[in-house]
Amino acid sequence: MAKKEKVTLQELIVQTPELKASLLKFENVKLQLDKAAETCLQIKVTDDASLSICEQNLGKINELVKAVENVRVSEKAPHFEKCKAIDAAAAYVSELPESALKHLKDQKIAWVKLNDDYNSFLNWIKGKYNNLLLVSECDAFLTKLNKPLTDNKWLSLESKVLAEIDKYKKLVELKKEELIALENATPDEAEAIIQNAEEAKAEIESAVEETPIETISKIRRPWSFEVVDVSLVPLHFLMVDESKIKAYMKANQDTLKDGEVINGIKYYKGIGVTV
């Protein structure tokens, strides 16, 4: 894996001149870090006194690393605010399309629900009719069918629903007449009555055909997510890929500095003291 070439502050200023003032604030900390690093490289721990010096310099290096981080955070803050403003503008502009999309999705779901209700109604009225065996049952069913249609959900399908109700009114009346005629009929008369009833039934059904509405087989609304501002994501939602960090350290071990902070990750060497 090729080593990533380091970019100097001067090169960064050339690449992003609009950030010159911010980038120059790192120069002073860089000089202090370089000087402290040179001192640290001269230290060799051989006794308690040199150990104390080592620990002092470790503390100094850590403070300078924190200073770098503080400059980074403070200089990035206004740019983050600008990014937030851009995100807010995008959210503002998208507000109407989002509400329109929600409206369309709600309309689609409502239509599918209405289709299901309509097909359930067709199954109910047909099943009720097919189970009529007595004149009294015909009268009770006719009473239900003669009630006015008051449910507002049928407004968009009112003509279709009323047509089905009117058809079954005629079929139930026919069924009632058939049952009454069969009460005292001879076998030959009964056969003729049933035959005539079947022909009349076929004529009524052909006048208004049952038209179930095609339904959409599946509508799913699973929860999903989109990261719109990673700086606001709680840390416990994030996961560091340690394998990639270790691979980066291995590839850059010759150029990494002890205590160096890159992209929020501090790289350091452990210290072993031999007494």
Report the distance separating Cα 110 and Cα 117, nearest Å.
10
Give 181-193 pLDDT, tens digit per residue: 888 888 878 788 8
Q: Provide the 10 A C-beta neighbour count for residue 246.
A: 10
- Positive or negative, the CA dihedral 17, 21, 22, 27 is positive
What's the chain's average pLDDT?
Answer: 80
Q: What is the pLDDT of residue 208?
A: 58
Q: What is the pLDDT of residue 222?
A: 63
Counted residue by residue, the chain has a size of 275
Q: What is the pLDDT of residue 134?
A: 92
Report the distance separating Cα 109 and Cα 107, nearest Å.
5
Give 191-200 pLDDT, tens digit per residue: 888 888 788 7
Give 200-234 pLDDT, tens digit per residue: 788 887 775 544 444 444 545 566 666 666 677 77
Tokens 């709680």 found at: 234
Q: What is the pLDDT of residue 107?
A: 87
Q: What is the pLDDT of residue 274?
A: 36
Distances (CA, A) of 62 to 30, 37, 69, 261: 13, 11, 11, 10
Q: What is the pLDDT of residue 128?
A: 92
Measure CA of the first residue to CA of the last residue in the chain; give whole Å: 39
Report the distance separating Cα 132 and Cα 173, nearest Å.
11
Q: What is the 3-state secondary structure (H, E, C) of the chain?
A: CCCCCCCCHHHHHHHCHHHHHHHHHHHHHHHHHHHHHHHHHCCCCCCHHHHHHHHHHHHHHHHHHHHHHHHHHHHHHHHHHHHHHHHHHHHHHHHHHHHHHHHHHHHHHHHHHHHHHHHHHHHHHHHHHHCCCCHHHHHHHHHHHCCCCCCHHHHHHHHHHHHHHHHHHHHHHHHHHHHHHHCCCCHHHHHHHHHHHHHHHHHHHHHCCCCCCCCCCCCCCCCCCCCCCHHHCCHHHCCCCHHHHHHHHHHCCCCCCCCEEECCEEECCCCCCCC
pLDDT one digit per residue (tens) for the chain, 275 residues: 455 567 788 888 888 888 888 888 888 888 888 888 888 888 888 888 888 888 888 888 888 888 888 888 888 888 888 888 888 777 777 666 667 778 888 888 888 898 899 999 999 999 999 999 999 999 999 999 999 888 888 888 888 899 899 999 999 998 888 888 888 888 878 788 888 878 878 888 777 554 444 444 454 556 666 666 667 777 767 777 777 888 888 888 888 887 788 877 877 775 443 33
